[in-house]
Structure 1
Amino acid sequence: MAEDGSAQSQDLKAWPLPSFYFKVTLGSKGDISFSEVSGLETEYEEITYRAGDSPAFTKVKMPGLKKASDVTLKKGVFKSDKALWTWINSVKMNIIPREVVTISLLDEDGKVAQTWELANAWPKKITVEGFKADGNTVAMETLILAHEGITIK
Structure 2
Amino acid sequence: MPEEKAAAAIGQVTDPYRNFNFKLEIRGLIEGHFTGCSGLGARIQPIRYREGGTSQVVRAIPGPVDYAEVTLSYGVTRSNDLWDWFSKGVTGRVERRNVSIILLEPNGVDEALRWNLIDAWPSEWSGAPLDALGREIAVEQVKLVFDSVGRA
* Same fold (TM > 0.5): yes
Q: Counterpart of 1:39? A: 39
Alpha-carbon separation, structure 1, partners of 2:34 and 2:68? 19
Query: Residues of 2 paired with 1:12 and 1:36: CA distance?
Result: 31
CA RMSD of aligned residues (A): 1.7
- Partner Cα distance (2:136, 2:94) in 1: 33
5 Å-filtered alignment, 1:1-153, equals: 14-30=14-30, 32-51=32-51, 53-78=52-77, 80-91=78-89, 92-93=91-92, 95-109=93-107, 110-153=109-152
C-alpha distance 75-18 of structure 1, shift in aligned 2 (>3 A): same
Q: For the residues of structure 2 that align with 1:35 and 1:148, how far apart are their CA atoms?
A: 24
The answer to whether the 8 Å contact 1:72/1:145 transfers is yes
Q: Could you tell me how far 1:50 is from its partner in structure 2?
A: 1.3
Distance 1:27 1:97 in 2: 11
Counterpart position of 1:8: none
* Aligned partner of residue 137 in structure 2, secondary structure: coil
Amino acid at match of 1:148: D
Cα–Cα, structure 1 residues 12 and 107, in superposed 2: closer, same or farther, change >3 Å? farther
| TM-aligned CA deviation for residue 55 of structure 1 | 2.1
Q: Could you tell me how far 1:14 is from its partner in structure 2?
A: 1.4
> Who is 2:6 aligned against?
none
Superposed displacement of residue 12, structure 1: 8.4
Show structure 1 runs of 5+ residues with no match: 1-10
How much does 1:40 deviate?
1.0
Hey, which bits of structure 1, 4+ residues long, moved more than 3 A? none
**Structure 2: 5+ residue runs without aligned partners?**
1-10
- Larger Rg belongs to: 1
**How many residues were matched structurally?**
140
Q: Is the 8 A contact 1:40 1:150 kept in 2?
A: no
- Report Cα offsets for 1:12-57 as digits up to 9, x if no partner: 8611111111110111214612010011101101100113x33211
Give CA-to-partner distance per residue, 1:52-85, whole Å, 9 cap, x none.
x33211211111111101000001101x211111
| Change over 3 Å in CA distance of 1:12–1:128 after alignment to 2 | farther
Q: Secondary structure at the match of 2:18?
A: coil
Q: Percent identity?
A: 26
SS in 2 for 1:35: strand
Question: TM-score, with normalisation over the residues of structure 1?
Answer: 0.85
